[in-house]
């Protein structure tokens, strides 16, 4: 299944339709596509959270 991420309509387009959510988005980091983040440091923080599993997709129950 191919799902395109939609940051602007995340709740409606991802959470409600697919029943999944990103859990553990880094505190203080704006919820934006990495290409729209303001600094490379923000991109690295998100990358590290995803690599370590601190931020991951979870199925809603």
Task: Tell me the pLDDT tens digit for each residue of 41-61.
Answer: 999 999 999 999 999 999 998
Domain for residue 37, yes or no? Answer: yes
Domain for residue 5, yes or no? Answer: no
Domain for residue 4, yes or no? Answer: no
Domain for residue 34, yes or no? Answer: yes
List the domain range (segments joined by +) for residue 42: 10-59
Number of domains in the chain: 1
Domain for residue 1, yes or no? Answer: no
**Six token digits for residue 56:** 């991951």
Domain for residue 32, yes or no? Answer: yes
Give how far the C-alpha of residue 32 lies from the chain's centroid of Cα atoms, to the nearest Å: 8
Give how far the C-alpha of residue 39 lies from the chain's centroid of Cα atoms, to the nearest Å: 17
Whether residue 21 contacts residue 59, with contact meaning beta carbons closer than 8 Å, is answered with no
- pTM of the full structure: 0.86
Domain for residue 18, yes or no? Answer: yes
Percent of the chain with pLDDT over 70: 100
């Amino acid at each position: 299944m191919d799902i395109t991420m939609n940051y602007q309509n995340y709740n409606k387009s991802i959470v409600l339709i697919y029943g999944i959510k990103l859990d553990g988005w880094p505190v203080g980091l704006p919820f934006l596509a990495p290409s729209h983040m303001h600094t490379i440091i923000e991109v690295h923080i998100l990358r590290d959270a995803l690599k370590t599993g601190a931020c991951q997709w979870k199925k809603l129950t």
